[in-house]
Every structure is written in C-alpha cells, then in structure tokens.
Structure 1
Amino acid sequence: MSCVRDWPEPIIRVQSLSEKGLEAIPERYIKPMSDRPSSNFPVIENQNIPIIDFSGLYGDETIRAKTLSEISEASRDWGFFQAVNHGVSPELMDRARQLWREFFYQPMEVKQGYANSPKTYEGYGSRLGVEKGAILDWSDYYFLHCLPCNLKDHNKWPAQPSSLREAIEEYSKQVVKFGGEMMKALSINLGLSEDYLQKAFGGEDIGACLRVNFYPKCPQPDLTLGLSPHSDPGGMTILLPDQNVAGLQVRRNDGWITVKPAAHAFIVNIGDQIQVLSNDIYKSVEHRVMVNSNKERISLAFFYNPRSDLLIAPAKELVTPERPAIYSPMTFDEYRLFIRLRGTKGKSQVDSLKSPSPR
C-alpha cells in the first residue's frame, strides 16, 4: 500500500457537482441496474433496529442482566442497534455535528488544503479504493485518526471552525469511554472475561478514527448511493446520524430496513474484527446509505478498532470440536488493505477468509 500515493483519476468533489444544479448525475456515479436502490432487495417498511437504554448497565442486578441480554440479542441477531443514555453529552453530539457541517460549508480552496491520498485516507476525500474506473458513491468525507497518539496529527485536523479541534478531542474521549463499556458487555455476553475483547484490541492502545460523511443533494437518487453496501472492516462503529434526514439502511434477511434515528442516540454496529474474534457468534451486517434530492445529510462514524499490527483470530475459549475456528489469524493492517485497494464490496472480504473446511 505504501507505493499507492495518489488516486487513479482526478478527484471531483461531489458537493461541487451538487451545487452546480445538475439535472443528471455524471455516469461515474450511476450504479449498475442490479445495485440501484430499488433493484437490490425490497425496503422493509414499519421496522427499525433495536433501541437499547444503556443506563440499565448501572442499575440493579435485574436491570443490568436485562440490558446485557438486550445487547447480546441485538449483537447476535441484528449486528446493529441504537444506544440511548450512553454517557456522551447530548450537547457535545449536537455541537460536533454542527461544527462539521460548517466545515463542509467552507470555500473549496480551504477544504482542498486538507485533500487526502490513498496512503492513509486522512483528510478531505471523495472516494474509497484505488480501482481505476470504479463506479463512485455520491458523497464526500473527512477522515482523521484519534488513537493511537502517535498517529494523531492535529495539523491534519481542520483549523476552522476555530473550536472544531477542541470539540473533536472531547468527543473522541467520551465516545472511546462508551466504546470501552460496549466491549465489556460484548465480552461478558460471550462468556469471556470482561476485558477479553479490549485486550485483544490492544488494551488502551487501540486504534480509533473518525470519518465524517457528507451526502450532498442528488438530482437522481434512484440511480446512485451515498455509500455502497458493505460491512465495516474494523471492530465496532459508533455512528452519530443526521437527526433530520434518514438515509442509513441495514440489510435484514432479504430486505433493507431504513434506520429511524432516536433522539441523541448512537447507531452501533458490529464490525468484521469482532465477527472474527467471536468466531461468528456476533455478525457484522451489510448496510448502505441512500441519498436525497431535497436535503443533504451529515453523519459522524467513529471506528473503534484493534491496534493495526495485532493478529486477530477467534478467541480460543470459543473454539470447540463442534465449533472449530472459522478464520485464520490476520492483522487489521493486512485486512483493511482489501478496502483501500478495492473499495466497498459487501461482505466479500470477511467471507473470503472463512476456511473451506473445519480445521
């Protein structure tokens, strides 16, 4: 990956295309017929992902057991849920979202000063993967590292709005704390010691990064997607959605469920690394993002990941003769190279690692 230093074609900012008032989107963004929003499985109406009140983790034994059970069921059956009363300040959530919206409203020459490359993705971007001629998604983003400290570089974080860097620091601190509580709950529900998954991720030396997604208005939302179907390659994603515009859809059997965000809730989903560590007890789930002809959307995806050089493999406590290890060890660095080269490809990466026969 170190040899890939630039994108295969000139970068066009989707926000700029949207602001031109085009009646039709460029061909580069038109999905094949089978991948368009209305062509690939129906949208399931009148359903939502589970909503879990995390204050129950600090209640009496009965309430705590009930909350752990809800987390376990959602992680095994859905791979997605919404968390309310999670301990992150609602005011900070609103402030972070608004400050990032202000960043994307800045002049293009300001944003271009933070343009990213495929080497680390850090900075202002508009595509994933370096596959030449790929069909692109209708979105821009900003990606930055929060942990480990040696990767965090404030010079790569936006200087404007002036309070954004301070807000990112506090937001990251609070979300990491919530992520640690989630890791305890997931470990306990697997029958492991409560610090098992955290230790597997590197203890306090985890990887954590933020991708702020900006989905501009789109004149032909039926022909494209804001983000193509994929499962998240990392450990766990803690998403702060746009409160006013729905767009995230989660794969559920043979259909898609549009997530209806609860007030000041995080949308939490299992990533591929926890699927591997749990030996397929927890599942990462495909999801995609729709775009809108009348409204833009913004969301903050916080990725709680293992340290990049640690081998990730099924927990030995979860491997039995009846349930052999499904995956061979692999570092997160090796794993995410797939997406950096090819972009989002459903669950093809994690599925490709499964052993053809029990070991």
Structure 2
Amino acid sequence: MDTKVVSRVFAGSLPVDNVQALASKNLKNIPSRYIRPEVEFVLINHGIADEVIEKMKINTQEFFKLPLEEKMAYAQLPNEIEGYGQTLVRSADQKLDWNDMIFLFPLSVPLRNMRFWPTNPPSFRETFDKYSTELHKVTIYLINRIAKNLGTDPEMLSSIFEDGAQAI
C-alpha cells in the first residue's frame, strides 16, 4: 500500500528568550525588555458598534424566550455540538448543570449549516452574520497586534486566520 506524506508548513518559528535562565539568576534589577506595562491598550466593546452588540443581545434573548418546542427545531444532533441544546450532558443519569445554549459556526461561510440558524426572531440570521463578521475583524486586528509584539510579520500571521473557522 502506497502512502503519501503531506507536509504542511503553517508559519516559521518565533524567537523566544529563555526566561527561566533569567529567573535562575535572582537578579535585583530585571532588564527592561522583560517588563511590559500591565495594560498596553484597552479595547472597549472590542471595536464593535454598540448597536451591533445590542441587536445581538436582543436577538439572542428573544430566541431563548421562545417556547421549547420552537427552539428544538434547531436542536443539536446526537454527538454534535452545533445547534440548540446543552453540551455538558454526557449521560441520562448525570445531574444536570442546566445551560441552554446555541452553538453555531458563522465563519467560514462554507462551514455554515443554516439548519441550525434560527429564523425567529426574524432578524436573528442577519444580526448574527453582522456580529460574527465584526468579531472576525477584531480577531484579525488582535492577531496583527500580537504579531507586532512578537516581532513577526503581521500580514503573514493574520493570513493564517483570514479564512479560518469561527464558532460562537
């Protein structure tokens, strides 16, 4: 039987200082390159417009107010996480720590299974799409910041995540 080995190169290595070696020296003064301010930047509302967050909150609350029978139209399939349900249920005998949830894959678009995307409230799908798109923008922004702080190419690192999956 012939087997083909597929090699995938995702990114190069990043230089990492040996902090353990520094710690073992019991220095009185730590070199400044090892010290970072506690907060370098603050991200309020993650850069997402207040109205997008508010619409998402309202749509989600309205979905969870629906009768159980209506929510069950979006129920998880056996051994699956996507959809409406309680993912922490492992057996019929366990004591429940109840947590209704809806778990969806909004990105990438080919991963979407619209069977699980509620149509009630009527604006849920549009709102969820907008919210997940805005979250993706925040993700790319943060990846770029991380890359800059690591001294690597931000475009190279963010390109790895550009078409990545997103689960909410």
TM-score, normalising length from structure 1? Answer: 0.34
Let me know the Cα RMSD of the aligned residues: 2.6
- What does residue 128 of structure 1 align with? 88
Q: Which residue of 2 aligns with 1:209?
A: 167
Aligned-partner residue type, residue 130 of structure 1: R
Correspondence 1:194 to 2:150: no
TM-superposed deviation, 1:131: 5.8
Please identify runs of 4+ aligned residues in structure 1 that moved more than 4 A.
Answer: 131-135
Q: Find the aligned partners of 2:62 and 2:162 in 1 and give their Cα distance.
A: 32
Find the counterpart in structure 1 of residue 124 from structure 2: 164
| Alpha-carbon separation, structure 2, partners of 1:136 and 1:189 | 43
Greater Rg over alpha carbons, structure: 2
Gaps of 5+ in 2: 1-35
Percent identity between the aligned chains? 32
Q: 8 Å contact 2:84–2:116 — kept in the other structure?
A: no
Structure-2 change in CA distance of 1:121 and 1:82 (3 Å):
farther
- Give 2:64's aligned residue: 104
Indicate the residue corresponding to 2:134 in structure 1: 174
Give the structure with the larger helix fraction.
2
Q: Which of 80, 103, 110 is the aligned partner of 1:143?
A: 103
CA distance in structure 1 between the aligned counterparts of 2:85 and 2:42, rounded to whole angstroms: 27
- The corresponding residue for 1:293 is none
Question: Between Structure 1 and Structure 2, how many residues are aligned?
Answer: 133
| 1:121-144 Cα distance to aligned partner (Å, 9 max, x none) | 111011326367445433110001
Distance 1:197 1:133, change over 3 A: farther
Structure with greater strand share of residues? 1
Partner of 2:14: none
SS in 1 for 2:121: coil
**Residue 129 and residue 197 in structure 1: after superposition, are their counterparts in 2 closer, same or farther (change >3 A)?**
farther
C-alpha contact 2:75 2:116 (8 A) present in aligned 1 = no
Paired residue for 2:25? none
C-alpha change, 1:134 and 1:183, in structure 2 (3 Å) is farther
Structure 1, gaps ≥5 residues long: 1-68, 76-80, 211-359
- Tell me, yes or no, if the aligned pair for 1:118 and 1:129 is still in contact at 8 Å: no
Cα 1:123/1:82, change in 2 over 3 Å: farther
- Give 1:116's aligned residue: 76
TM-score, length-scaled by structure 2: 0.68
Distance 2:154 2:89 in 1: 36
